[in-house]
Amino acid sequence: MIKKKLFNRKVKAPSALKPLAKSFIKRLKPGSVVLLKGELGAGKTTFVKAICNELSIDPNEVKSPSYTLINEYENLSLSENCEIKTIYHIDLYRLPDSSELDGLGLSDYIENDNSSSIVLIEWADCALEYLYRTSKFLYLVDIAIEESSRNFLIYSLT
């Protein structure tokens, strides 16, 4: 497996995520899948909010998908010169086991018409084998909790 480090940044507060979100989005092509790793409360959903905010989506619209499993956000901004139109935000924490993945229809978001979408996944452990096999552009965002801040390590895996 290729593992290329793209960013290593300390972020002191959610409000300070903007520069990292901005730089990271520049690396993302449509069809990208982003694995968000980090313990409970590490800031995975908060990072998705920051990314969505850069894509002209109201951050208040971005809610944790821990019960819905999948949330979909549309980048409706016509002024933004950006190829990413749809963001699928997935959280598999409550998925009973990997045999339920088929029922979730993950392949609809990953393999089918993904020419204008990205997929961001929290707690993807049970789907890793599938995601490694099927994703053309795969990234890992590994968030470590430090006293009052977070350390972000971001890798490209493809």
Ligand X SMILES: Nc1ncnc2c1ncn2[C@@H]1O[C@H](COP(=O)(O)OP(=O)(O)OP(=O)(O)O)[C@@H](O)[C@H]1O
Using the rule CB under 5 A, which residue among 33, 44, 54, 131 binds Mg ion?
44
Q: Which of 23, 53, 56, 64 binds ligand X (CB under 6 A)?
A: 64
Q: Does 20 bind ligand X (CB under 6 A)?
A: no
Interacting residue with Mg ion among 45, 75, 114, 117 (CB under 5 A): 45
From residue 54, give the alpha-carbon distance in Å to each of 67, 111, 144. 25, 25, 23
The 3 state secondary structure assigned to 37-73 is ECCCCCCHHHHHHHHHHHCCCCHHHCCCCCCCCEEEE
11 binds ligand X (CB under 6 A): yes
CA dihedral 89, 68, 46, 139 (to 10 degrees): -30
Among 24-32, 44-52, 81-89, 100-108, the segment contacting ligand X (CB under 6 A):
44-52
- Contact positions vs Mg ion (CB under 5 A): 44-45, 64, 122
